[in-house]
Structure 1
Amino acid sequence: MVNHNLDSSLPSGWKAYAHFTKTSGWAAYAGCVWALLYAVFVRFYQAAGGTIGLSAPIVDTTGGIYIASYVVGVIIMLCGFVLLGLVKPWGKVVPSWIPWLGGVSIYRGFLLFPTLLCSVFLLAHGAAGIITRVLFLAGFINLKMPTFSGEVDMRIDALWDLFVYQPWFFIMGVLAGLSAAHYAQARDVSLSALKCGTLLFLFLTILVTAIFVAAIVFDFVEKLSFF
């Protein structure tokens, strides 16, 4: 088993980071609650026809958008529960009551890698959303609204994005990332690997954020804030 005593050769900043993430099991519980709140009070609420947070009602004659909002809400809830696997025993060993697989050790990358990738997406989505809304409100860029919206007040929508929706993504990304780092240490990932993995994670997050910002500013793709 890997010795988790802090390596004396590590800089003090990395020592503090390793200690903090090692004791960050709370982030998984907070992330699960955070996901449930968004799923219920945003996705399910809008799927039921709620309009708070929208400057105009959604135009959807087929009901497809409402169904999609509900499905996304269910997926977000499931992702929240997956975070619990990073701090619960069933995230390390398959529960004994499951036929044929009970008692089998779970490969740490099975939960770790998807969580890290989702965290990169969440952080990049939130950061890019905040940056572009600030640029829009300052008058530097224009934003393209989805075709399913009616007459909208772009500034109101941008303010909701800036202070509600995009911060949710960013905070969820932070909580997921902390949960993954905690899980990595609980599964005996070495401190050197944790350091290298963290640097790679930060690089990917910055890269994806830049891509998202460019896509929104230059309208490469449809608006990336459906969630």
Structure 2
Amino acid sequence: MAASALAGRRAHGSGRFAGERLVQGAALAGAALAAMSSGRGPERAKARRFARRGAQGAAAVLVQGGSHLLFDGLAVALRSAAGPDPDAPGPDAATSAVRLLALGSAALVLSAARHDAAEDRSGSAERTVDPGQAAPGRRALAACGYAACALSLPYPVVKLAWECGSDIGITRPEVIHAIPGGWLPVVPALAGSALSLALVRPWGRVVPTWVPGAGGSRVPRWMVLWPACFGVAVLAQVAPAALTAGIRYQLDPGKPSIEEIGLRAWVPLTFYACWLLWGGTLAGAAWEYHRTTTDAG
């Protein structure tokens, strides 16, 4: 139903955002492939596996398309922090709804594909592999979680330092410190840092015993894996474009220097390079989490 509603967005005609048609196609393709994977019988095992892989790919496109919803929310929060501005464009409710439907469609497609895979594995014992006991190649993937956490920190640490009055990396304090709501992007960044660790730490698999009521219970894998996939999609969407734009800006003699705008040149390039590497290491940690918690629920 989510895929059909997303495809129905065609009727609006105007106000499209870049990649909307790709999102619509991925929604319909994912639903069709998920339905194809539900056939039974040993002779259809190979076709079911192919359909599941295709459905997972379509879901990845949907997550990518819906990931900009995070920036829609941040834009609204920043506008609220800056105060009312009658000239500022308001949020596009239709576009936000399409992105939300894309995420919902991805969840439904992944759920259907996972249910079919679970039926194929019915009768097999549960297994949860400790990353510390994995083969050397797998240990490298597990280490990606720690690297991802480290790479996520420069941005929120520097931003928080600015909010506390520090002038690190700043050439025009009166400009940077006057930006309202500068702390808001720190919240999702620090959440991403914690998520990076959750992918490789025991508390990302089993709730710590000191947590009242839930201590010792298994963490549903979707609560860690789905936000991680969303984070990878956001970083894959933002980091390459930001790094490329930053380099082009510095190489363009017709543009004012970054120092004139208010920052040392190393600040944005460090942020963007870290985001790019964070996306890669987060993807590796998410894959290891998926591999080591399959059938764990």
Indicate whether the TM-score tops 0.5.
Answer: yes
The unaligned stretches of length 5 or more in structure 1 are: 5-18, 144-150, 190-227
Higher helix share: 2
Shift of 1:110: 1.1
Q: Aligned match of 2:167 in 47, 51, 60? A: 51
Q: Is the 8 A contact 1:21 1:181 kept in 2?
A: no
Q: Where does residue 237 of structure 2 map in the other structure?
A: 124
- The CA deviation at 1:161 is 5.5
Runs of 4+ in 1 over 6 A off after TM superposition: 140-143
Rounded to whole Å, the distance in 2 between the matches of 1:88 and 1:35 is 17
Task: Work out whether 1:77 is the aligned partner of 2:163.
Answer: no
Q: Which amino acid in 1 is paired with 2:153?
A: L
Cα RMSD (Å): 3.7
Q: Aligned residue for 1:90?
A: 203
Q: Deviations over 1:14-52 (max 9, x none)?
A: xxxxx8466411111122233334322x11221123333
Identity of aligned residues (%): 21
Q: Which has the higher contact order (CA 8 A, sep 6+)?
A: 1
Distance 2:241 2:254 in 1: 13
Q: What amino acid maps onto 2:170 in structure 1?
A: L
User: Alignment partner of 1:59: what SS?
Assistant: helix
The superposition leaves residues 179-214 of structure 1 with CA deviations (integer Å, 9 ceiling, x where unpaired) of 11111111127xxxxxxxxxxxxxxxxxxxxxxxxx
C-alpha spacing 1:119/1:188, structure 2 compared with 1 (3 Å): same
Mark the runs of 5 or more structure 2 residues left unpaired by the alignment: 1-124, 129-135
Aligned partners of 1:133 and 1:161 also within 8 Å: no
Structure 2 letter corresponding to 1:163: L
Q: CA deviation at 1:164?
A: 1.4
**How does 1:1-227 map onto structure 2 within 5 Å?**
1=125, 20=137, 23-40=140-157, 42-59=158-175, 65=180, 68-139=181-252, 153=260, 159-160=265-266, 163-188=269-294
Asked if the contact 1:22–1:186 (Cα under 8 Å) also holds between the matched residues in 2, the reply is: no
TM-score (norm 1): 0.57
Using the TM superposition, give the Cα deviation of residue 2 of structure 1 relative to its aligned residue in structure 2, in angstroms.
8.0
Cα distance in 1 for partners of 2:203, 2:245 equals 40
Q: 1:64 and 1:38, CA in 2 relative to 1: closer, same or farther beyond 3 A?
A: closer
CA distance 1:130–1:64, change in 2 (3 Å): closer
Aligned residues: 165
Q: Which has the larger radius of gyration?
A: 2
CA distance in 2, matches of 1:32, 1:178: 12
Match of 1:201 in 2: none
Q: Distance in 1 between matches of 2:153 and 2:222?
A: 25
